[in-house]
Structure 1
Amino acid sequence: MIATGCGSSGEPSGPPRVRVATIGVSGAAAMVLGVSKGIFSDAGLDVQVVPAEAPAVIPSVVGGQAEVGFLNAPAVLLARSNGVPVTAISSTSGNPADPADNFIQLQVAADSPIRSPKDLEGRTIAVDTLYQLPDVSIRNALRASGVDVSKVKFTELPFASMPDALTSGKVDATNPAEPFVALGLDAGARNLLSDSVGQTTTMPQSVFLSSEKYVTANRDTIDKFRAALARACEYAQAHPDELRAVLPTYTKVPAALAGKIKLPVYTTAADPAGWQRWADVLTQQQIAKKPIDLDGAYLR
């Protein structure tokens, strides 16, 4: 949308306003840091970070409450397979080479009898949103680890509620993203399995998305956002201390803990083969009920 402040000519003035529906996880940190460093304003955009829960991101973008949303690659593909007209405008993170360094981890209680992924059969895992990342990625990692995923129960629980649910025994395992991985470890959990097991480093993870309608009508604004995001990701990779400092400004992670969390690989690179791999995973897991057409799913 355009911030309207009209002059005497009646034409809109001021930079385009871009409200970004953003969940409070580390994957969004490069964008938030870029906003604070003036990277987006230098690109001629008024970017406003709007806190959101994961299930509300796509509805807010389609409904016009936000111009851009922060979510993940499988969520975009699944939405499109269900006829929702959204498009990924840019990737913003990828997988590290070592799965142990991944910022999404499956956790169990320190004293849990669950010692291997196979032990999760017959158990309950809490994920923040069903059929999106991290849910899709942990199902894929479990299958890659020899687990019969049909024997595992998945239940929705906000990231912030996961440490208490694990401690109380409400669930057998949780699947948080940073900063909630660190918060879980701080509360006594242990990491059992990385979500990136069974994936490649070229598969897109966190992404920014918009509605097809907004992209078509505001392509110049979208291109400016993409270019600024690329600069923000490069800056974030080069200045991890500054990135960690921004985390407490939009997440619930305390400043002392922000220095300990695992960070994503911030990148806007998107490998078409990685998008195809996600489409295949969604089909193989029968989350998507029909083959996913990648045409228009993401900007190239």
Structure 2
Amino acid sequence: MAAAVAAALALGSAGCGGGGAATGSNGLEKVVFGLAPVAPAGAFQVGIDQGFFKAEGIELELKVVQGGAAVLPGVMSGNPMFATSNAITLLTARDQGIPVKIVSNASADRVPPAKGLYGVVARQGSAIRTTADLKGKTVAINTLRGLGEFTVGEAVKKAGGAPGDVHYVELPFPDMAAALKKGNVDAVWVPEPFLTSLTTDGTGQLAGYTTQESVPGLASYVFTSERTDADVVARMTRALKKTLDYAEGHTDKVQAAATVLSGIPLATLQKSGMESFGTDLHTDTLSAVGNLMQQRGWIKDGAGAVKGLLP
């Protein structure tokens, strides 16, 4: 995460990014939207299919990008103009002076909890049955000081331990199954489709949905640079509201669209959970995360970062 944040900070300081969108021959302004290849991403294709963005004069182009902090430099340079990311990444960026702003909710864990999209998986037959059992263990995560490390640490703390009780190693998601099988790590933190795969092919057993166990209702967000043209932001916000309200009532269509964007088989998506949509910014949850990050020394001013992020 550190390298991506540093690159974004340099671009933000240089005054890069922002501005308006180019108008195509069809009279629509082309806006590039970056998203990670995960199940909730299907909601935005559904919004395109329903004509919500076209109604606002926007031709939305979906661009699959790396999640988390990796997308920050692109957004700060204007390509993509908008993207999705998690609260930990955005709070870290804002606390370090990167001028990012939340535009809309993207998706959030359901409250009360249902099946989660992110979970910790231990080897099949392991004594690790719950997050409380992770104390003193080694867990693979995709990014240090990212969503995985934050939620695992907070879940362990709620179970009576401390965030520092767990040792973390950084691995790409596709490499985690092999590491688990070989015993190089005690457990792995993975999203779908890895979660369902590892817990149904005999490799591992679910120890817990750490996003739900750490901060209930934890959300991801659509964000942009604060230099993005205000009219484009307003029109995107209206289109996103219609999109997310529609997606909440049509999760079957979201799953179908997600198979194309993510490559995750529809059968796998139907077995897994689906986050909630809607336009609630989950400000209480965001504030709670900012406070916990400050307590852990990850950011200096949680309340200030939250205030800077919100529209």
What is the TM-score of this pair, normalised by structure 1?
Answer: 0.87
Q: Deviations over 1:104-146 (max 9, x none)?
A: 2221122222223233222221222222323322221121111
Aligned to 2:288, the other structure's residue is in SS state: helix
2:46 aligned residue (22, 25, 33): 33
1:258 aligned residue (244, 266, 269): 269
Q: Deviations over 1:65-108 (max 9, x none)?
A: 21011111221111111111111111122222233522222211
Contact 2:152 2:214 in 1 (8 A): no
Aligned to 2:53, the other structure's residue is in SS state: helix
Question: Matched residues in 1 for 2:51 and 2:163: separation?
Answer: 45
Contact 1:134 1:177 in 2 (8 A): no
Match of 1:3 in 2: 22
Match of 2:73 in 1: 59
Structure 1 residues 272 and 117, CA, compared in 2 at 3 Å: closer, same or farther? closer
Question: Matched residues in 1 for 2:193 and 2:245: separation?
Answer: 21
Match of 1:267 in 2: 278
Structure 2 residue identity aligned to 1:199: V
2:294 aligned residue (280, 283, 298): 283
Match of 1:199 in 2: 215
Aligned to 1:233, the other structure's residue is in SS state: helix
Structure 2 residue identity aligned to 1:190: Q
Structure 2 residue identity aligned to 1:259: Q
Question: Matched residues in 2 for 1:127 and 1:48: separation?
Answer: 30
Structure 2 residue identity aligned to 1:242: K
Structure 1 residues 33 and 97, CA, compared in 2 at 3 Å: closer, same or farther? same
Match of 1:185 in 2: 199
Match of 1:295 in 2: 307
Instruction: After TM superposition, give the deviation of residue 253 of structure 1 in Å.
Output: 1.1
Question: Matched residues in 2 for 1:5 and 1:237: separation?
Answer: 31
Instruction: After TM superposition, give the deviation of residue 290 of structure 1 in Å.
Output: 4.1
Aligned to 2:258, the other structure's residue is in SS state: helix
What is the TM-score of this pair, normalised by structure 2?
Answer: 0.85
Structure 1 residues 44 and 167, CA, compared in 2 at 3 Å: closer, same or farther? farther
1:134 aligned residue (125, 132, 148): 148
Structure 1 residues 246 and 291, CA, compared in 2 at 3 Å: closer, same or farther? closer
Q: Runs of at least 4 residues of structure 1 off by over 6 A?
A: none
Equivalent residues, number: 288
Question: Matched residues in 2 for 1:98 and 1:53: separation?
Answer: 29
Flag structure 1 segments of 5+ consecutive residues without an equivalent: 7-12
Question: Matched residues in 2 for 1:25 and 1:109: separation?
Answer: 24
TM-align CA RMSD:
2.1
Structure 1 residues 59 and 292, CA, compared in 2 at 3 Å: closer, same or farther? farther
Question: Matched residues in 2 for 1:267 and 1:5: separation?
Answer: 30
Higher helix share: 2
Aligned to 1:140, the other structure's residue is in SS state: helix
Correspondence 1:224 to 2:238: no
Question: Matched residues in 1 for 2:24 and 2:251: separation?
Answer: 37
Contact 2:103 2:223 in 1 (8 A): yes
Question: Matched residues in 1 for 2:173 and 2:54: separation?
Answer: 31
- Structure 1 stretch 174-183 or stretch 247-256: which is displaced more? 174-183
Match of 1:10 in 2: none
Match of 2:11 in 1: none
Structure 1 residues 89 and 239, CA, compared in 2 at 3 Å: closer, same or farther? same
Instruction: After TM superposition, give the deviation of residue 171 of structure 1 in Å.
Output: 2.1
Structure 1 residues 52 and 102, CA, compared in 2 at 3 Å: closer, same or farther? same
Question: Matched residues in 1 for 2:270 and 2:131: separation?
Answer: 29
Instruction: After TM superposition, give the deviation of residue 242 of structure 1 in Å.
Output: 1.3
Aligned to 1:141, the other structure's residue is in SS state: helix
Question: Matched residues in 2 for 1:17 and 1:197: separation?
Answer: 39
